[in-house]
Every structure is written in structure tokens, then in C-alpha cells.
Amino acid sequence: MPRKTDLLFPKKFLWGVATSAHQVEGGTTNQWTEWEARQAPSLAAQASYHYDDLDNWDAIAGEAKKPRNYISAAAADHYNLYEKDMEIARRMHCNAWRFSVEWSRVEPREGEWDEQEITHYRRYVEALKARDLEPVVTLFHMTLPIWFAEMGGFETRANTRYFTRYAQRIIRALGVNVRYIITINEPEVYMKLGYQDGLYPPGKLDQRLARRVLGNLAYAHNQAADAIHKLNRRYRVSIAKNSTYIYPGDDARLTVRAAQAMQFRSDDMFMRRVVKTCDFLAMNYYTSERVYGYRVHNPESPLSDLGWHMAPGDIQYALERWHDKYKKPIMITENGVADDRDDYRKWWLMTTLIAMQKAMGNGVQLLGYMHWSLLDTFEWNKGFWPHFGLVAVDRRTMKRSPRPSALWYARALAKIRKEK
Ligand code: BGC
């Protein structure tokens, strides 16, 4: 563990965990559930083609080859077990919690609001407040009501008014119990995987449409943020942006220029369209990329279960870059590692905490850190085998078992928060 004096964070710092509705709740009916039902057999059949070069292939093959791995079904049954899960976070000494509202539950048909489901989320937030967990609510985390997807979703600018209406309705219902609001999670990932690569619904391969969708997502965010601010100026609104830190591996002009251009395309091109309506910046950080010439060539290092390059310490530079560029407070709204055996998560957390501390020492105004994830979740088109949870979930019994890294995080938070 880093030395005591290494870990001095502000008193109000938000320490939390993050989840999203579709990935943990279970029992959802949205455009993803339809997609899963259609795609599961082919995803299972292609598993060895996609993943058999991973080091952990032998361990995951059994699950990855089964169609049921790709169906969210009961997920982690968090819809019913949320109070138990919040208790785990409270016992881990967290004081914050990021989650998403499932739009398809609260507005299952256009203009028809399900009051019971709205009450569910109101109670959910009350349950957080009762445990001194500050809610950080996301309104759109990859899943859409079927009626909205069928009318073209974010392909059409006019449709964004439905999103604004939903945002207003939910924020009115949650009222003063929430303060931090994320309108949209990772707009570029939604656009790229859904419209360029065809890997997420609606599974299209259409560059022009992809650009239009991204523009509409920026517009949707700006509209929703304005509407939420009109309800009450005290709301702190943002959009969760995936950020990869991209840096030159040598000082050749070509390398330096290429890295700058790649970083600009990856972060700033979208950011500059939304930054004005953001009260703070929400960063989802998972990895960095080292560039030589035009190519990404990362240092040799162990890879995560998903084969991702692990560079938790580089979050420092990602934070400092955003700070220099945008001069706004930042919240880390996702950060974590797929690591079933929990070999790396403790190191990941420790390295990240030190990197955050250094960034703060260099002027970054950091509001909080939400680890992805509290639980093992439904990892979209990969299904259930990648395990991001501090807490393992046995999906037959729904039993939760904290991994050793969860105990480390709990001890670190106890120490950090007591030092105040
Ligand atoms: C998404 C999460 C996802 C995580 C790990 C982020 O891109 O917001 O939904 O589970 O990355 O892949």
C-alpha cells in the first residue's frame, strides 16, 4: 500500500463504484435484449476465432462458446438485490455510487410513463442517500427503449427531443436527491461499435450515418444539459467520455504529429462540441497508446483478460491533459480491469490512486473516482466471461464474493477517509 502521506485527498472527494442498468439489473427489455437474442448463436460460434489467442482462453472457452453467455437475462439480479449491493459499497467505505436509469423501464412505450418503475429509481436513490452514497446518475448507458430504436434512435436529430423529455422527467422525479448527472455514456463507443464496426446494435456499417449519430449525440447532450440546468442550476451535468492517453514513443516529427492528431481525434473533436454545457468533465479511462510513426506499439506488459494493454499510471497524463485544455473539474466515472483471478486489480488500484494524487499535485481539480465495477457485469458483445468486478457474482446463486482487491480498496478508503 502506498505510504500514508502519499494519499491525501480532499475531504469531499467522492470514492465510489460504477455499474450500468443493463449490465447488472437483469430483466430488461430494450434494443440490446433483442440484439442479444439474435446474435447469441453466432457470437458463441465465433468465440474461438476472436479470443483463442488470449492467454486465458482455456479458462474462458467453456463459457465463451455457449450462446447463453451472450444473453443478459437476469444479469446480476441487481434490480432486486440493489440494497445488498449498496451495503457492500458502504462497508467498503465508499461515499459515492454511479449507476444508470434504464429508459426502457420508465418509458416502455412512447409517452407512456411507468410510475412504478419511476418509483423504483426514486427508492433506489433514497437507498443510496440513506447509506451516505452520493448518487452519480447516468441517463443513457448504451441501451434504448425499443420504440425509440425503431424510430431510428439518434440517427435523426428530431428524435433527440424524446431524450430531453425523458431526462427532464427522471431528474424531476429524483429531485434534490441527485446532484451529479451524466447524460450519455461514451457517445463515441456507441457510435463506433453500433455504426462503424457493426458490433453493437443497430449493427450498421455506415460512415456517414455514424458521423450524423455522433453529431446528434452531442446535440442531445447539449439539449438535455440545458433542460436539466433550467430545472435547477445546482445540478452538475456532464457526459462520460472514454479517454485513451495517446503519446509519442520517440521524438521523430512524424511520431509526435501523429500522436497529437490521434489524441485530437480521440478526445477533442467531440469534447469541444459539449464542453460548454458540462459543469465538470467525466472521464472513463482504461488504457493508453504509445505511437511510433503512424502505428500504435505499446510497451511489452502483461495484458488484461480482454487482451488490453494495462497502463493504469498513465491516467495521470490523461487527467493533466484535460485539465490543461479545458480547465474544468474532472470526475473519473469509470476505471478498472478485466481480471478474473484478481492478479492485477490491487496493483491497478494502487497505481491509479498514486497517479491521481500526482495529477492533483499538478493542479488537476479531481472530484472523485468511480471504479468499474462493483460487480461482475454483462460485458456487452462479450457476454459474461470478462470479470471487471471488485466483487465476483455467482450467476447460479447470485451470491456476491468480494475479491481480495475489494478488501484492499476498502482498507485504503478507510485509511484515506479517516485521515481527514
Ligand atoms: C463502458 C462499460 C463497459 C466497460 C468495460 C466502458 O466502455 O461504459 O459499459 O463495461 O467500458 O468494457
For 115-144, how does the pLDDT look when each residue is reduced to its tens digit (9 = 90+)?
A: 999 999 999 999 999 999 999 999 999 999
- β strands within 340-398, DSSP E: 366-372, 391-394
Nearest ligand 1 atom to alpha carbon 189: 7
Neighbours of 280 (CB within 10 A): 20
For residue range 356-396, list pLDDT tens digits in order.
999 999 999 999 999 999 999 999 999 999 999 999 999 99
User: Residue 314 half-sphere exposure, CB side, CA atoms within 13 Å?
Assistant: 17
Q: How confident is the model at residue 6 (pLDDT cuts 50, 70, 90)?
A: low
Which element (helix H / strand E) includes 416? Answer: helix 404-418
Nearest ligand 1 atom to alpha carbon 380: 10
Ligand 1 lining (C-beta closer than 6 Å): 20, 23, 185-186, 189, 242, 284, 334, 372, 377, 379
Task: Compute, in angstroms, the gap from residue 236 CA to the centroid of ligand 1.
Answer: 22
- Is the pLDDT confidence value at 266 over 50? yes
- Determine what percent of the chain is predicted with pLDDT higher than 70: 98
Average pLDDT over the chain reads: 97
CA–CA separation, 349 and 30 (whole Å): 33
Which three-class secondary structure state does DSSP give residue 200?
coil
Closest residue by Cα to atom 10, ligand 1, is 379
Task: Compute, in angstroms, the gap from residue 65 CA to the centroid of ligand 1.
Answer: 22
pTM: 0.97
Neighbours of 301 (CB within 10 A): 8
Residues 6+ apart with CB under 8 A from 84: 400
Ligand 1 pocket test: pick from 143, 334, 340 the residue with the most ligand atoms within 8 Å of its Cβ: 334
Cβ(283)–Cβ(331) below 8 Å: yes
According to the model, what pLDDT value does residue 3 have? 54
For residue range 298-315, list pLDDT tens digits in order.
999 899 999 999 999 999
Q: Which residue has the cell 468486478?
A: 389
Which element (helix H / strand E) includes 256? Answer: helix 253-263
Conformation bin of residue 133: beta by default, left when phi > 0, alpha when psi is -120 to 50:
beta
Task: Compute, in angstroms, the gap from residue 250 CA to the centroid of ligand 1.
Answer: 31
